[in-house]
Structure 1
């Protein structure tokens, strides 16, 4: 089976990350984006998300006056950088329960 890689687009948007299970928000720079995920660099905050963390990501697109809010899971990290995959908002609770129960 071959894996399809989604085309990525470079961006310089600012983002706000909320990590489910942690208090507070993190600032981040959205470096690239695809249909399936994104690469972010944490710019400020008191926590660096880890692989498996579930996120609520908000991106304010000033030029077109729109706000995008998506759920995601961290799939890899390197320093302050995060690779995330987008997930359906309905899956967040299910994944949180699975993590809590050790599945």
Structure 2
């Protein structure tokens, strides 16, 4: 299976991490159909692998706002690789995590 084509971007994203209070600001560096690479710019928490998040991107040039659910698949320093997930999967994955404790 080939990797999804990535597109470079310089959009700003707001990130809400489920289970953590507050908003993070991140730079969206590249984007594909299946995920994205982000660099956290501001916030008191850097998401780690397995964190579930809600990402909002204001596309000023298109006058649109995109809001997607995602899971962090890797993190290194302030950088994050995320894969997009169906919003219905967020609760399911949160429940699976809580039952593993």
State the match for 1:57 in structure 2: 55
Q: What TM-score, normalized to structure 2?
A: 0.98
Q: What TM-score, normalized to structure 1?
A: 0.96
Aligned length: 101
Equivalent of residue 4 in structure 1, options 2, 5, 16: 2
Which structure 2 segments of 5+ residues have no match?
none
Is 1:18 aligned to 2:20, yes or no? no
| Partner Cα separation in structure 2 for residue 63 and residue 8 of structure 1 | 19
| Aligned ranges 1:1-103 → 2 under 5 Å | 3-102=1-100
Q: CA RMSD in A?
A: 0.9
Which structure 1 segments of 5+ residues have no match?
none
The structural deviation recorded for 1:64 is: 1.1
